[in-house]
Structures are given as structure tokens and as C-alpha cells.
Amino acid sequence: MTVRIVTDSSSDLTDDEVAMNGVEVVPLSIRFGDEEFEDRSELSVEAFYEKLTASSTLPETAAPSPGKFEAAFRRQQQAGADAVVCINLSSGLSATMQSAQNAARAISGDLDVRVLDSRSITSGLGTQVLLAAEAAAAGASVDDVVALVENLATRTHVVGALDTLENLKKGGRIGGAQALVGSLLSIKPILDISSGEVEEAGKARTRKKALIALRDKVMEAGEIDHLCITHGLAPGAEVEEMLDLLADIQPAELIRIGHIGPVIGTHGGPRVMGVTWLASA
């Protein structure tokens, strides 16, 4: 049986990671006023943050249509897939998974498609996708890949430090972090999205203390795997500082570094810094 992996663009995988692992990415869309862009293909990370900084209003993100997912599933079938596992960003944050489920139902008689909730975002989701693709390439059955992802979803942790809460507040995605609104907007919020929803995990008064707080969250986790740093075009010096802070936990060469793209960057804002990891099995 040939199993192929589909995900959405909030996974923030690089083009090389997608190509090397045979993953298909279905893009969400980002709208700035009257301008709408398809994530990845029409709006790069760099161009997005330039527009975000210049825009007086928060852009809007939209889930892919069921038709886009259906087209992706059929492409995989035509390429020889006997089954598809579609891993999406948290259903608590987007209607993307619902769209994928509708597409899977539409072709249920033609192809075995399993739609899974990663309960995660950005490199947390990306890690699940890469490990699922690795298992599929090694010959795992569709049931085995599903079981793997369901296990990974319970072990995936995402913690982020925002430079501002303004984008999250404007977007209505603040969830359990409501206590941070108002007079605390000048504070650097620490948010935990490990449950698939946004929850308050602390606050820091300076950017440096916020990065230290991220390190402390990783240290508190005990034994971990697949540690990643992900950021919204934060200055290179801050990325290096984050690597230095994590050096006693994992050497830099074992830490994957990626960019937070438009889907999450819309709500996290510029210079958002995050760490994701898997709790050891």
C-alpha cells in the first residue's frame, strides 16, 4: 500500500522539506483589504511581514475550500496513492480541518482519505507531517500512520513569545489569554498552544526575559525530541540568542529552525518567537 501525506500551509515547511518528503501542501489564503493572496505561492514570508508592518488593519486568513483539498487528494491518487493521510492545523483555531473532511467525504468511494487534527500549528504541525511522511515512505500502512500521528498530537508542544498582543487581540484568537489584554498589552506575552487553543503561559517585561521564559518551558518539559525554533522574521541575533539559551538542552545542529508564515504570523505578529518539541514517548 502506498500512503501519501497532505497538509496545509500553516505547517510552515520549507519548499525543500516538502519536495524531499513527497508532501503536498494545500494553501490557506490571506487577505489584505481587497487584495487576496494564496499562501506560499503568491505571498512569501518576507513579503507578508512587509505588508503586515505597513498595514493599518489586521489581514484576514481563510481556510482552503473543500475543492482545493479534493484536488490535492485526487492528485495523490493519480500519482499512485492507495490512501492519503491529511494532517491539519488545530481545529480549535481554524475551519481548515472541516474543509478537508468535507473533501474526504466527497471522494470516499474513490480513495481512502484520513483527516487528522494535529492539535498544533507551525513547526509543531510540521514535525508531525515530516514524521508521518517518513513512516509512509518506509512502508507503514495507513492505519499505522494514523496511529503515529494521533500519538504525536498528544506529545506536541508549542510555546511562543509575542512582541505584542495587538494582532492576536484584533483577530479574536486570544482565547484563554484574555487576562493579558488591556493594560498588559505592553508586556511580552508567553502563550501555550499545546492544547490546540491559545492559553496564557506567563508574561515577561522585556524581550530577553521572554526568550529566557521559552527556554525555561523547554527545560521544564524533561526529555524531549525534535526541538524546533520558529519565528516571524525575528532578527538573526535573537535567533542566535535562542540557540545559545537552548544549548544545554540540545546542540544547535539538532535544532530545526523555521519561519512562521502568514497563517500564524497574522495573529502572532512580527518578530514572534516560538519553540516546539515532542515530549519523549
Domain region containing 162: 156-279
Mean pLDDT over each residue of the chain, to the nearest integer: 92
Report the distance separating Cα 164 and Cα 186, nearest Å.
Answer: 7
Report whether pLDDT(161) > 90. yes
pLDDT in tens, 83-135: 999 999 999 999 999 999 999 999 999 999 999 999 999 999 999 999 999 99
* 227 lies in the same domain as 242: yes
217 and 261 inside one domain: yes
Domain match, 196 and 262 both: yes
CATH code at 124? 3.40.50.10170
129 and 11 share a domain?
yes
Chosen domain end from 90, 120, 153 = 153
Q: Identify the CATH number of the domain in which residue 206 sits.
A: 3.30.1180.10
Number of domains in the chain: 2
Domain boundary among 91, 119, 153: 153
For residues 192-203, average pLDDT: 93
User: Of 136, 153, 170, which residue is a domain's last?
Assistant: 153
pLDDT of residue 208: 94
Determine the Cα–Cα distance for residues 3 and 187; give it in Å rounded to an integer: 46
User: What is the C-alpha to C-alpha distance for residues 258 and 27, in angstroms, rounded to an integer?
Assistant: 17
Q: Is 95 found in the same domain as 8?
A: yes
C-alpha angle with apex 97: 95 to 101, nearest 5 degrees? 120
